[in-house]
């Protein structure tokens, strides 16, 4: 197993980036170039870690397929496309101290809790990135720091009577276009609550309205 960074292009293509100064790049280079067989298997293991409770992963995704080495010109073109989808400083190193590989996706699975789902590859390639992904850390940090009492009210509104009496801690563990995730510690269990928005949030500017529309909103 080697550590790489993954990127998705504007058309849904998946790429992995390996730093040439690391064992990951050397291992990938040897694996891909030591054979003329184009079907070099690859498995990308992705862990969805919330910005606040890094000890409580939300989900795990496994992307299986085959790895393709790219020519230098293809790498540069891919880096430009990837930067258009999501700018990242690491992409500036492509062709210098980093190498891009294309991962042709064959199968995708998603595990949340104790359940694993098969994900359609075409649906994965067509899905739009969550508009709150880039600002998730800032949003959750702000709510946790400055609106803890109100977060507690959101949790109390969704727990049963016994758990409300023994609620010890509330942590916001994530936010996306569909709502908030709360992690609650009571005397009897560690509860994960979902606070759903009435409608999906189309962009970051609409987040305030979505929060104000919730019951017991901290923004009022």
Alpha-helical segments (H) within 41-147: 72-85, 121-126, 136-146
Tokens of 133: 């992904």
66 touches 39 (CB < 8 A): yes
Rounded distance between C-alpha atoms, residue 34 and residue 21, angstroms: 19
Tokens of 99: 């190498």
pLDDT tens per residue across span 156-179: 989 989 899 999 999 998 999 999
pLDDT tens per residue across span 184-199: 999 988 888 999 999 9
Tokens of 33: 């170039």
Q: Which of the four pLDDT bands, split at 50, 70 and 90, describes residue 55? A: confident
Comparing C-alpha atoms, which of 132, 114, 87 is closest to residue 192? 114
Q: Where are the domains of the chain?
A: 5-126, 136-212
pLDDT of residue 25: 59
Ramachandran region, residue 31 (left: φ > 0; alpha: ψ -120 to 50; beta: rest): alpha
Q: Is the pLDDT score of 134 beyond 50?
A: yes
Q: Is the pLDDT score of 61 beyond 70?
A: yes
Rounded distance between C-alpha atoms, residue 154 and residue 183, angstroms: 11
Which CATH homologous superfamily contains domain 136-212?
PNP-oxidase-like (3.20.180.10)
**pTM (two decimals):** 0.77
CA distances from 116 to 109, 178, 183 (A): 7, 21, 21
Domain 5-126 CATH (choose: 2.30.110.10, 1.20.120.450, 3.60.9.10, 3.40.50.12500)? 2.30.110.10
189 touches 208 (CB < 8 A): no
**CB atoms closer than 10 angstroms to residue 32:** 19
Q: Is 60 helix (H, G, I), strand (E, B) or coil?
A: strand
pLDDT of residue 37: 54
The answer to whether the 5-126 and 136-212 domains have the same CATH topology is no
Query: Diameter of the chain by CA atoms?
Result: 65
Q: Which of the four pLDDT bands, split at 50, 70 and 90, describes residue 220? A: very low
pLDDT of residue 69: 86
C-alpha 139 chain-centroid distance: 15
Rounded distance between C-alpha atoms, residue 81 and residue 70, angstroms: 14
Q: What is the CA radius of gyration of the chain?
A: 21
**CB atoms closer than 10 angstroms to residue 128:** 6
């Amino acid at each position: 197993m080697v550590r790489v960074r993954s990127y998705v292009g504007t058309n849904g293509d998946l790429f992995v980036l390996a730093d040439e100064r690391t064992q990951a790049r050397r291992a990938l280079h040897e694996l891909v170039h030591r054979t003329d067989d184009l079907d070099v298997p690859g498995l990308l293991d992705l862990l969805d870690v919330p910005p606040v409770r890094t000890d409580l992963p939300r989900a795990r995704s496994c992307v299986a397929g085959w790895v393709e080495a790219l020519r230098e010109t293809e790498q540069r073109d891919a880096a430009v496309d990837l930067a258009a989808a999501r700018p990242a400083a690491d992409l500036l190193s492509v062709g210098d101290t980093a190498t891009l590989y294309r991962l042709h996706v064959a199968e995708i699975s998603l595990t949340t809790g104790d359940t694993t789902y098969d994900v359609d590859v075409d649906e994965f390639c067509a899905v739009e990135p969550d508009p709150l992904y880039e600002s998730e850390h800032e949003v959750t940090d702000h709510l946790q720091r400055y609106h803890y009492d109100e977060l507690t009210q959101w949790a109390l509104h969704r727990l049963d009577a016994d758990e409300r009496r023994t609620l010890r801690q509330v942590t916001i563990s994530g936010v996306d276009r569909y709502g908030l995730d709360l992690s609650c510690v009571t005397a009897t269990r560690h509860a994960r609550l979902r606070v759903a928005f009435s409608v999906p949030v189309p962009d970051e500017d609409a987040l305030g309205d979505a929060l104000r529309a919730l019951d017991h909103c901290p923004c009022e």
